[in-house]
Amino acid sequence: MASTFRIGGDLDVRRLGFGAMHLPTGPGPDRENALAVARRAVELGVTLIDTAHLYGGGANEELLAEALHPYPEGLLITTKVGVARTGPGGDWRLDGRPEILRDQVRQALRRLRTERIELLQLHRIDPGTPLADQLGTLRELQTEGLVGRIGLSEVTVDELERARELVDVVSVQNRYNLLDREHGAVLDACAAAGIAFLPWRPVAWGNTGAEAGIAAVAAELGATPTQVALAWLLDRAPVVLPIPGTARIEHLQENLAAAELKLTPAQRDRLDGFAETGPGKGPGPGPA
């Protein structure tokens, strides 16, 4: 099982990354801890960190820049645009209008203290804006040198195919984990095309029967159920790049140790048989 993947054919990252969504961005001790977690992730070899404009309206991007700038060579910080406070009363809503996407990219460049976003992902396709306008804007930003590569998030197979007719899609970020495989067909499409698949919410529980079976496999390996769930993802397809998030260094270290876990074929078959059908399945608290 390869430990690295080349996004877009030319951007090498370690397959087990870090999702920054859960890092607190307010002042005080929690922020200092968040800075320490981000720095520790890079110290432990993480080369792929995921953030978004939605996470605190850019505050998460600013936090990562404070923690990690100037960025070490080989570190990829990918961000997402297309959700904005343009709803009634300033509520968050999907907004893929060209002017919104351009503004959020400009803000991201400033907050991340960089001249180019090597991987920019459309957080969601806005049904109120033509797809050609949304992706056309990102393609223009790419042509201008402000964006290196383009990715998508929470798309269907059909949407991915339509998008690929407009731009070169190098990544897809959909909800997917051992117990929630709703987007398995999207993952398979990405694997067939060599497109990076970044599962958000890569670890989720809620099926007591399945959890007992996963715990049994973990006991056999001297690992934790979380590590088994991440190892299963890494074993699912070479294009899978999990981005587990945490605000605690001990959890970070536990997550990253999953990269060294080796499942036997028999253990893999047992884990493949678990799929969540009971309480707990769902989209989570909001867009990742």
Which of 5, 18, 55, 200 is an active site residue?
55
How far, rounded to the nearest angstrom, does the alpha carbon of residue 246 sit from its chain's CA centroid? 13
Cβ neighbours, 10 Å, residue 46: 21
- Longest Cα separation, the chain: 54
Structure tokens at 122: 């459309």
| Cβ-contact 256, 16 below 8 angstroms | yes
Task: Select from 88, 157, 93, 79 the least CA-distant residue to 128.
Answer: 93
| Cβ-contact 252, 18 below 8 angstroms | yes
Q: Where are the alpha helices (DSSP H) in 44-93?
A: 59-68
Long-range contacts of 25-30 (CB under 8 A, 24+ apart): 25/55, 25/56, 25/59, 25/60, 25/62, 25/63, 30/247
Task: Select from 133, 130, 108 the least CA-distant residue to 119.
Answer: 108
What size, in residues, is the chain?
288
* Residue with token string 């006991």: 219
Q: Could you confirm whether 55 is annotated as catalytic?
A: yes
Q: Which residues are catalytic?
A: 55
